[in-house]
Amino acid sequence: MNPNLTWVEITQLCEHLLCSEKVIYSAKRLEVLKAGVHFYALGNISRGGKHIYCVELCRQALLDQTAKQAKAVSEKIKAQEVYNQSHLKELVTRWQPVEISLVAIPLDNSIGVNRSHPSYSTPKEEKQMSNYVSD
């Protein structure tokens, strides 16, 4: 091991790298951080042993992974078709506004509450049971 490298437990590693333990465990699961390179086990892990991590190597591995992910996203965006103004003229061939209104009253008077409709303006006659019963 290089004596100039800093080896710490996971809590101190997270403080150095300004990340959570979840990020470190995820990086281990994805093999971004590899045993024997980025971290070592001290003692028997099942009996309370600990992992120690190299701050510098872990930082570099996480930065490399972030750079790979950023490059992949960048390539994906470049691969997608980008529409400019001339493409929009080809795509939009016909359109028509359905309703344009800057006031609270809609264009269609039959829509909404308390609109002027003949059935709403006169009270309905209550139907009596006698109207339906024949003698």
Q: Under CATH, what is the fold of the domain 7-79?
A: Multidrug-efflux Transporter Regulator; Chain: A; Domain 2 (1.10.1660)
Q: Which residues pair with 41 in a beta bridge?
A: 51
Cα 98 to its chain centre, rounded Å, is: 32
Q: What are phi and psi of 8, to 5 degrees?
A: -140, 165
pLDDT the model gives residue 71:
92
Mean pLDDT by 10 residues, the chain (135 residues): 85 93 93 93 82 94 94 81 67 70 62 56 55 56
Residue 62 and residue 15 in contact, taking contact as beta carbons nearer than 8 Å: no
Q: List the chain domain ranges.
A: 7-79
In whole angstroms, how far apart are CA 16 and each of 12, 52, 61, 111? Answer: 6, 13, 14, 63
pLDDT the model gives residue 109:
60
pLDDT the model gives residue 76:
81
